[in-house]
Structure 1
C-alpha cells in the first residue's frame, strides 16, 4: 500500500548538547505522606474526614475509644491523689522538724516519696499526651501535616490496631521524579544537573528541575543508576505513578552524532522502529533501531541505519497502524 503525504528525510549528524533522556516516574516524597493510627488498640467512634478531603495540620481525622487510655487516666488520678497526700505529709514533717519535734529522717523519706510520685504523674501525663487523648478514654487522631486524605481505612465501631494506619494523608505538592540512567550514560549524570521532565499524560507539559540524588550503586537487575529530580515548580496535575521521561542537560555540547527525529520513531513490540522507503517514497518497510540520548527534538541513533539513509520523518504512527493491520508492504 502506498502512503501519500508522509515526508522523508535522511540520517544526519547533529550536536545534541550532551543531553540524556531516560524513562521516569512521578513519586510522592516519603516525607510528604503521613500514616495516622492509634498507638494503642481501640474502637473507632468517629470518622471526621472523607476520602479526598483537604486537611490542615493538626486537624481532627477521627476518634478512637481505648481502654488503655481509660486505664492511664485512672492511674494519673490515683497518682495525683497520692502525690497530694505525700505533699501534705512533707509539709507536716518539715513543720515538726523546725519545731524540734520530728526527726530529720522522716523529712528525707517524705521528700523522696514526693519526688517519686511527681515523676509518676509526669510520666503518665506524657504517655497520655503521646496517645493524643481527648476526653476520658478517647484518642484523637490528628493530621501531622497539611495535605489531602488519600486513604480512610476505618468504619464506625471497627477495631483499630496499633500496627495499622487508619488514615493516610499526603501533600500532593511535594513530589519528585525518579529515573533510571543506563550504565553507558552515567558519566553524564551528577547532582545539580539541570533536567526537563515530560509526561505521557500531558505531552505539552515540560517541567524544569535538577538532580538532587544519584544512587551510590547500580541496580543489579536493570544495570541502571537510580536518580531523583526535584522540580522547580511542581504542576497541580502531577500524580504519583505518572510515567514520562527525564531529559538531563549536560555532557559534551559540540559532539556530533547520528540522529533521528523523535517524530520518526514508533515503538513496535517494545523495539524503537523507523520506516524506510522502498521503491519510492510512498511505500515503506519497518526498520528496528537502537537509540541513545535525546535532545533538541532528536534521538541519538546508535545502530540500525547509516548516515545518509532515507526514512520517514512524519507519519510514524500511521505507518505503525498499517503495519499492525497487515496493510504495510502490500501493493495497491
Structure 2
C-alpha cells in the first residue's frame, strides 16, 4: 500500500514539472508582447500584477518543495495501548503490561465458601405494648382539681395520677353510707331479716357504682371506716410505667369518656414490621428477629415473632408482623424506626469485605486476578450481612484471587479503557 502511494506521488510530481516547463516555454514565446503590454499599464496596475505573481510563485514553489521532500518521509503510527477485552457476558478483562500493583494498596484474597445465614430485611418501628398500656378516662362528668403525675413521670401501681371533682361520685358515696347504716340497724334486729337482705344488696350495688366511677377497694373501706364522704375522686395508676401523654390541665371540665392520661410500660415494647409479599412464605410465628437502630448501630436487640396479620395492607402491600421487645436497659423509644433481619435458613457463599464490592448503579461487581498482569471484572449477586461484609452467592468460585482492597481504584482503569 505504501509503495503504491509513493508511485502515485512521483507521477503527480512529474506531471506538475512538465506543466511548469510548458508554461515557461509559452511565456518566452510571447515575451515581447507581454512586456509591451505590461509597460503600457498604469503604475498601480503593474504593482498589483507583480504582487499576485509573487504570491502565486511562492505557493507553487512550496507545493513543489513539499512534493519533493515529504513523499518518502516515514510516518510514525503510535501503537494503541488499549488492552481491554469485553466478553459476551459483559465481563471485562484488562492487561496491564509492565505495571506492578502496589501490594500495600491492592490486596487480594483467596475465595472460600462458608455457610452463612439467609436473611430477609424487615423495616418497621417500635410501639408501646398495648397489652401493658392503660388509658385513664373520666367515667363521670367533673372538673380536674389536681394533677399528680405529668408527662414522663414514673408511676407505680396505685400511684395517684389525677384528682377529679365529680358530683356523681359524691352521690355514690352518700348512697353507700346510707345503705351501710341501714344494713347495720337491720342486722341488730333479727325480726327484720328480709329487709336486711335487701339493704345488703343495696349496699353492694352502691359499692359497685363507686368502683365504676373509678374508686378502689381501699377507697370504699376508708369510706366505711370514716363514715365521711370525700369531695374529690383520686384516680390511681393500674400499672407500673410512665405517663406517656396527659390530655387535660388543672381546672379543665371533662365529660364521661374523655381521655385524661395515657400510661405505658417503657420496658415492654412491640416491633411492628412490614413483610413484603415475596417473603411471606418464609415467615412463621416463633422466629427470631435481630433488630438494629440507627441510635445504637453497634448493638443488637433480639425479638420473637408472636403475631402475623391475617391480611395484607392494601396501601403498603405488606404484611404486618409483630414481636415482643424487652427494653430492660431503657435504650429504645416508642416510634423509633428499626431495621430487622429475619433468618430463614443457611446457604453457601463467599464472604468478602464491603471494600471488595464495586457498585455501579444497581449492579455489584468484583475484580479477580487471572494472571501476572491480567485482571477480570464481572457481576456477582448476593446480599449484605452486617453492613461490613457482603455474601456473594453467585459469580465467584473457590480459589479465585479476589481484590478486597483497592477495587475502586482499579475499576477506574477499567472505566477509562472502556471509554
TM (norm. structure 1) is 0.67
Q: Distance in 2 between matches of 1:263 and 1:223?
A: 35
Deviates more, 1:15-24 or 1:169-178: 15-24
Does residue 295 of structure 1 match 2:385?
Answer: yes
Aligned equivalents of 1:263, 1:42: Cα separation in 2: 69
How many pairs does the alignment contain? Answer: 274
Query: 1:37 offset after TM fit, Å?
Result: 2.5
Q: Does the C-alpha gap of structure 1 residues 87 and 22 become closer, same or farther in structure 2, counting only changes over 3 Å? A: closer
Say if 1:141 and 1:299 are closer, same or farther in 2 by CA, change over 3 A.
farther
Q: CA 1:298–1:164 in structure 2 vs 1: closer, same or farther (change >3 Å)?
A: farther
Picking from 58, 70, 75, the partner of 2:175 is 75
Of 183-192 and 77-86, the range deviating more from structure 2: 77-86
- Checking the alignment, whether the CA contact within 8 Å between 2:268 and 2:327 is kept in structure 1 is no
> Is the Cα contact below 8 Å between 1:275 and 1:312 reproduced in 2?
no
- The offset of 1:198, in angstroms, is 0.6
1:167 to 261, 280, 289: 261
Q: Distance in 2 between matches of 1:301 and 1:255?
A: 9
Question: Aligned-pair RMSD on alpha carbons?
Answer: 4.1
- The answer to whether structure 1 residue 126 and structure 2 residue 208 are counterparts is yes
- Aligned 8 A contact 2:290 2:340 in 1: yes
Q: Which structure has the larger Rg over C-alpha atoms?
A: 2
Which of 1 and 2 has higher RCO (CA within 8 Å, sep 6+)? 1
Matches within 5 A, 1:39-58: 39-58=139-158
Confirm or deny that 1:240 pairs with 2:350. Answer: no
Tell me, yes or no, if structure 1 residue 31 matches structure 2 residue 131: yes
* 1:86 to 1:236, Cα distance in 2 relative to 1, 3 A: closer
Q: Which runs of 5+ in 2 are unaligned?
A: 1-104, 220-228, 367-378, 397-401, 409-415
Instruction: Report which stretch shifted further, 164-173 or 222-231.
Output: 222-231
Describe the shift of the 1:264–1:174 C-alpha distance in structure 2 as closer, same or farther (beyond 3 A).
Answer: farther
Deviation at 1:57, TM superposition (A): 0.9
More helix, by proportion: 2
Secondary structure of residue in 2 paired with 1:19? strand
- Is contact 1:39-1:162 (8 Å) kept? yes
Deviation at 1:80, TM superposition (A): 3.4
CA distance in 2, matches of 1:314, 1:235: 41
Question: What SS is found at the alignment partner of 2:259?
Answer: coil
The answer (yes or no) to whether the contact 2:349–2:392 under 8 Å persists in 1 is: no
2:321 is the alignment partner of 1:227 = yes
Question: 3-state DSSP class of the match of 1:204?
Answer: strand
Q: Distance in 2 between matches of 1:292 and 1:186?
A: 20
Q: 1:117 aligns with which of 184, 199, 208?
A: 199
Q: Which runs of 5+ in 1 are unaligned?
A: 1-5, 95-109, 267-271, 278-288, 317-328
Q: Equivalents in 1 of 2:125, 2:322: separation in Å?
A: 10
> Quick one: distance in 1 between partners of 2:356 and 2:151?
41
Deviates more, 1:35-44 or 1:255-264: 255-264
Tell whether the 8 Å contact from 2:286 to 2:304 is kept in structure 1 after alignment.
yes
Task: Answer yes or no: is the 8 Å Cα contact 2:355–2:407 preserved in 1.
Answer: no
1:272-283 matches, cutoff 5 A = 273=362
Give the direction of change, closer, same or farther, for the CA distance of 1:7–1:136 in structure 2 (3 Å limit): farther
Shift of 1:7: 8.9
